[in-house]
Amino acid sequence: MWSSIRVRPVGGRRRGTEKMKIDRLWFAMLAAALAGCAFETGELEGPGALGMEELLTSESPLTSGFAGQLSNLVARWRMNGTTVCSAVVIPDSVGPTIDSGWAITTSHCVVDTDPTLYSVVTNDGFPTNVDKLYWHPIAESNLGTVNNYGSVDIVFARLEGPSPFIANVSFEMLRANRHVVQESARMNGTWTFSRDTGYVSPDPTYESRILVDGITSESGDAGGPIWDRADPNNGSILEGIHRGSGHGIHSSSFAGWLLEAMACGPFDTSEPDAAFCTPECKCGAGEGDCDSDADCKAGLVCGHNIGDLVGLPASYDLCVEPGARQSSSTSGYCASVGGCQLYEGDCNTHDDCRDDLVCRPNVGFAIGMSNSVDVCDLPRMPGTKAYNDSKDPTPGRCTAAEPCALGDGDCNPSNHATCRGSLKCKENVGQQFGFPGNDVDVCVHPDFY
C-alpha cells in the first residue's frame, strides 16, 4: 500500500513520468536561488546564532564512509518563531530547478492545523514558511490499532520556497541491526547535534516502528532523522524519523506515500484540481478529477459528477469501483473481494481497502451495519478535523471549516457541512461510536441518515 509513484507537482503542473524504486531512490538535490522566496523574517539567523563551530564538531562521531553534508538536511521546526522540534528537509528536485521544498517531521510536533504558524530553518539561516500540511494516511492513533500496525506519526509539509543545498538522500527499507546516527536541531540551541546511537531493530509492538539503542529523548529532537552510518555511495540513507522515547518511524512505512506525494502531488480536497488524474498519474478510489477510465488505477472507473461524495465540487468525476456499493458484516469481507472501496466494509487491515483508503475501526453503524464493523474511508486531508480518538463529547467540535470524517463527532445536525463530503450529521447516536453519551451527533453515510 502507498507504493505507486506518480510524477506531477502540486497544482496540476505536469512533469514526465519517471520510474522510481522506493528502496534505493536517489534525489539529486540542486542548488537553488533564494530570490523571490517568502521568508518568515527578512533577516538571517547568522552563523553566530547557528553555532557553525558546533555544526562542524557535531559531525566528528561520523565514520569516514558516512556523508559529510548530512547536517544540511536537518532543520529546526518552528512554531510562531520558536523551535519546538527537528525536521528533515527534502527539496522537490524533479525538473531543472527546485520550485518548492518539503519537510518531514512527526505529527505530534504539529499541534495546530494552521500551516502559517510553522517554518523551518536549515543551517543557511533562512526561515522558510510552511505552505501546506499533509498527514500520513495512518498518522491518527486510532488507525494504528488496525492489525497492530502502529500510527505512522509523520507530517509532510510543503514549503513556500526552495531549500538551498546540494545533497543526495535515499529511503532504505528496514533491515535489522543497522548502525545509525541520529541528528537534531534541539531547543537548547545545539544545531544538528549528531550522535552514534548504536543499532536499529524492529519494534515488536508495532510494525511501523524501529527501536534505536542508546537514544535518550531531549527537548526538540523529535522529528530529526535517523541515518544509516555507513553509506558506501557517499549519500544519505534515511532509515527513519525519530519519534521519541527510543522509538523511530522506519522509512519503509512512509517512503511510498511521501514519494508519490512529491511526484504527483497529494490528493487534497481543499485544492480542487480539474486535471489531477491523468494516464501518467492515475488516481485511486475516491480521488479526482478524472476524465476517463484511463486516469484511474486498475479495477476502477471514472464516475461522473460525484465529486461532492468526498468534498470536491459536485461536477468533478471520481475514480470508483464499478457497480453498487457493497458491504458485509462478515469479518474479512473486503479481503475476500479483493479490496473495498469508499464506505464499504468489513476490513481488517488497511490493505483490505482500495489504494490509499484506510480501514477505520468500529464505525459500521455509520453505514447501516453493526458498530463493530470496520469501514474503508478517506484518510485525513488538509481542511478536515483530526479524528476524535479520545471520544471528546465537546459540542460543536466539527465545523464547516474543519468537517469531520465518517463516525466522528460532535457535528451539527442543522449544518451537514460540518461532515466531510456527502456525509450527514445524525443526532443522538454517540454511544454507537464509543462516545460517553448518546447526546453526541455523528457523521454517517447519507443512505443511513
pTM value is 0.78
- Domain count of the chain? 3
- pLDDT band at residue 162 under the 50/70/90 scheme: low
Say if residue 149 is in the same domain as residue 193. Answer: yes
Amino acid at 343: Y
Say if residue 373 is in the same domain as residue 385. Answer: no
> Can you name the residues that pair with 130 across neighbouring β-strands?
159
In this prediction, residues 403-420 reach a mean pLDDT of 95
- pLDDT band at residue 1 under the 50/70/90 scheme: very low
| Alpha carbon separation from 279 to 17, 290, 353 (Å, rounded) | 10, 9, 22
pLDDT tens column, 201-227: 888 888 888 888 776 667 778 898 888
Q: Residue 342 domain-assigned?
A: yes
Closest CA relative to residue 211, chosen from 255, 257, 180, 172: 180
- Give me the percent of the chain exceeding a pLDDT of 70: 72
Say if residue 75 is in the same domain as residue 206. Answer: yes
| Burial of 72 from C-beta contacts in 10 A (0-12 / 13-18 / 19+) | buried
Say if residue 347 is in the same domain as residue 214. Answer: no
**Structural domain of residue 410, as residue ranges?**
380-449
Say if residue 181 is in the same domain as residue 244. Answer: yes
Judge whether residue 53 has pLDDT over 60.
Answer: no
- Residue finishing a domain among 348, 377, 406: 377
- Residue finishing a domain among 221, 245, 265: 265
Closest CA relative to residue 325, chosen from 291, 354, 282: 354
Question: What pLDDT is attached to residue 159?
Answer: 87
Q: Residue 151 domain-assigned?
A: yes
Say if residue 135 is in the same domain as residue 185. Answer: yes
Say if residue 114 is in the same domain as residue 213. Answer: yes
Distance CA 368, CA 406 (A): 12
Q: Read out DSSP for 71-107? A: GGGEEEEEETTEEEEEEEEEE--SSSS---EEEEEEG
- Residue finishing a domain among 265, 284, 315: 265
Q: Residue 281 domain-assigned?
A: no
Question: What pLDDT is attached to residue 166?
Answer: 44
Say if residue 366 is in the same domain as residue 221. Answer: no
CATH code at position 238:
2.40.10.10
| 241 in Cβ contact with 249 (< 8 Å) | yes
Q: What is the mean pLDDT of the chain?
A: 75
pLDDT tens column, 288-307: 999 999 999 988 899 999 99
Question: What pLDDT is attached to residue 28?
Answer: 24
Say if residue 365 is in the same domain as residue 449. Answer: no
Question: What pLDDT is attached to residue 188?
Answer: 57
Q: Residue 311 domain-assigned?
A: no
Q: Residue 371 domain-assigned?
A: yes
Say if residue 219 is in the same domain as residue 345. Answer: no
Q: Residue 337 domain-assigned?
A: yes
Distance CA 70, CA 193 (A): 11
Say if residue 141 is in the same domain as residue 216. Answer: yes
Say if residue 163 is in the same domain as residue 63. Answer: yes
Q: Residue 207 domain-assigned?
A: yes
pLDDT tens column, 91-143: 554 333 334 578 899 998 998 889 999 998 876 677 889 999 999 988 888 88
Q: Residue 287 domain-assigned?
A: no
Question: What pLDDT is attached to residue 215?
Answer: 67
DSSP tag of 262: H
